[in-house]
Structure 1
Amino acid sequence: MNAVLNVSGYKFARIDDPQALQQSLLARAAERRLKGTILLAHEGINLFLAGAQADVDALLALVRAQPGLQDFEAKRSWSGAQPFRKLLVKVKPEIIRMNHPAIAPQDGRAPAVDAHTVRRWLDQGHDDDGRPVVTLDTRNAFEVDYGTFDGAVDWRLHKFSDFPDALQAHKADLEGKTVVSFCTGGIRCEKAALVMREAGLEHVWQLEGGILKYFEQEGGAHFHGSCFVFDEREALDAGLQPLLKSPD
């Protein structure tokens, strides 16, 4: 029986005192016997947690009680066992490292496109203005090897902070096209879309909620393989079921 609720989510928002929030979230998560990782920075929060539904919901309520995080959303899936070994709550310089200080998603995000629209664009072979659509995978190469959108651009990134340099090397290939950046849950493709817009590309979108939200809303259409996740489930298929089955 799948009794463990798994949640993942992020939000770029100004957090004035991430150290104080760290202590508060750590205490609540430990009290509720949750496991996983919460990353905090002045730019926002990024979390992956699992536990009993009531306990997870209690932690999410505390997150949403913080200024700027009232509309924090978390993607939900279920598993038969706890996929995390321990609980970590850390304060970092960035909730997703890019080493590109000019990019500040907490001050305004790039335009997002929902899963249904992306599927429709891919079905018809172009966007609503007739431009060719490019899906750009912003994940690391080993993640892409588990699965990606059919025909997606893959720059074989070793780490996400390689993205700005890779963009400069390949920018010309994206000129005049509609670019949809995507990643696991949305956090990397959000920063990537801002970097591309800063570089002068006009028609850039981020896939709202990433691959996991796409799976939830559109299944595996135009996607081949599974989506790597950073826990003991290893990867999820288009039905959000783990590649590695847990014993009941």
Structure 2
Amino acid sequence: MVLPSTKSDGYGNTAPDEGKDQADGLPVLKDGLPVLKDGLPVQKDGLPVLNIAAYRFVAIHDRERLRDQWLEQCLALSIKGTILIAPEGINLFLAGPAASIETWLESLQGDQRFAGLEAKYSWSQHQGFARMRVRLKAEIIRMNKPDIAPAAGRAPWVSAQTLARWLDQGHDDEGRALVMLDTRNAFEVDYGTFNGAVSYDLKQFSDFPKAIQMHRQAFEGKTVVSFCTGGIRCEKAGLFMQAIGMKHCYQLDGGILKYFETVGQRHYQGSCFVFDQREALDPALKALSD
């Protein structure tokens, strides 16, 4: 089961995740958002399909074995979706009955490399995937910058609650102007983004390094918070910005989906595109296709 963690928000604060109560050792989200009860996320609005998204940057040397094992498990549990496995880690998007998802997560977290893996939950009326795929890739999110290795250490990050507070006050806690940097592709940005966010009309994420190098001077003296759907792109974007000497740069921990879970719509316009048949989620995590 997914256990709550105590961690720093990347801005010098170390505490259990804000916006969560503790009940029987499991995280409980407020304001009608997904909660865990008796090991299972509580069904929202009677919706039957539980969707999860998660990733972990960690060295993997047994990709073929994991591929075969996870495909067999997911098929047996009537789970559909996609799992990407690369030498640098895993990235997954799965959907199915809640009990099946929780069973698979428990099995996954039995492997020490994935212990404590935190998933982002949402519910839908319909299954968003046509089949189950487990694919071997060179990178779980392609940047074509082999020196950027999140498994060796994360870039600084801020929690959704800290970001919302900064946006409320119009600056960070040191008084610097705040810039939201959208690292997603252009068609994703068209569905929705944070108010006033900067984006670069990207066709693919591997275009980000060139784009940020061309515009880095525009961020001097400001605090930059990069964001994406679930956080994985910003794990690399944040490290790359550090590598080229940019200062006061943070990534939004858990991305837009985590922000929706814990904050909601505040400071965000529109929906968030997702790569399955749900198409996009609104700030209440409701699928546009339902």
Matched, 1:18 2:74: no
The answer to whether the Cα contact below 8 Å between 1:147 and 1:223 also exists between their aligned partners in 2 is: yes
Alignment of 1:9-158 (within 5 A): 9-158=54-203
Q: Normalised by the size of structure 1, how large is the TM-score?
A: 0.97
1:109-140 Cα shifts (integer Å, max 9, x gaps):
11110001101101111100111111100000
1:33-62 Cα shifts (integer Å, max 9, x gaps):
110000011111100000011111111112
Partner residue, 1:2: 47
**d(CA) in 1 for partners of 2:271, 2:122:** 15
**d(CA) in 2 for partners of 1:66, 1:162:** 34
**d(CA) in 2 for partners of 1:204, 1:64:** 31
**d(CA) in 2 for partners of 1:76, 1:39:** 18
Partner residue, 1:210: 255
Cα shift at 1:91: 1.0
Amino acid at match of 1:67: Q
Amino acid at match of 1:105: P
Cα shift at 1:18: 1.4
Helix, strand or coil for the counterpart of 2:93? strand
Alignment of 1:212-227 (within 5 A): 212-227=257-272
Partner residue, 1:186: 231
Helix, strand or coil for the counterpart of 2:113? coil
Cα shift at 1:67: 2.9
Moved over 4 A (4+): none
Amino acid at match of 1:195: F
Question: How many residue pairs were aligned?
Answer: 245
1:129-173 Cα shifts (integer Å, max 9, x gaps):
111111100000000000000000111100000011001111111
Q: Which runs of 5+ in 2 are unaligned?
A: 1-45
1:53-111 Cα shifts (integer Å, max 9, x gaps):
11111111122122321011111111111111111101101000010011000110111
**d(CA) in 2 for partners of 1:167, 1:240:** 30
Percent identity over the alignment is: 57
Helix, strand or coil for the counterpart of 2:112? coil
What CA RMSD, in Å, does the superposition of the two structures yield over aligned residues? 0.8
